Amino acid sequence: MSIRTWMFAVAGVLFFAPGCATRHILRMSNPEQATTVALFDQGEENGTEDDSIVVLDDSARIADVAAFFKARAEKWKPLNARPPRNPRYQISFRKWEEVTDRFWLEGRTVGLHTPAGGDFTCELSTAESAELLEIFRFTTNFKSYK
């Protein structure tokens, strides 16, 4: 192989290498078209006595939740293990009766289970976890994140 051919091959590899990165960019269904978004909190106890659910049907609040996830769209990584069996918090976007996007929050990790069956995670700070849960806080029985 001549030097000229070799240089052309190296330039081609360098040109296409950035596009081959394994970083996952979150592709949600259009959350702005969701009719509701719900947060299910299974509580700290094993029973159902402290379970709660908050359903947002206001388009502005739905947009706030969607904006939270979209702001972190480039931080998602494929989950190579199984997602938590019973995460404390589960968030689901719905368009009428159909669940379009399903998320979970466990500690400082937020996860996404896609309709196609893929699982992805994104690490959050404690403040970001609290920020996400605060969007759902409008009732007196909702417990804040600790």
pLDDT for residue 2: 57
pLDDT for residue 27: 54
Give the integer Cα–Cα distance in Å for 105 and 121.
9
- The two structure tokens encoding residue 110: 């937020």
Domains of the chain as residue ranges with CATH:
24-135 (3.30.1490.410)
**Sheet bearing 98-106, strands edge to edge:** 52-56, 36-41, 89-95, 98-106, 109-113, 119-123, 77-78
Q: pLDDT tens, 80-105?
A: 888 788 889 999 998 888 888 889 99
pLDDT for residue 29: 54
Whole-number percent of the chain with pLDDT over 90: 25
Could you say which DSSP state residue 143 is in?
P
pTM: 0.71
Whole-number percent of the chain with pLDDT over 70: 71
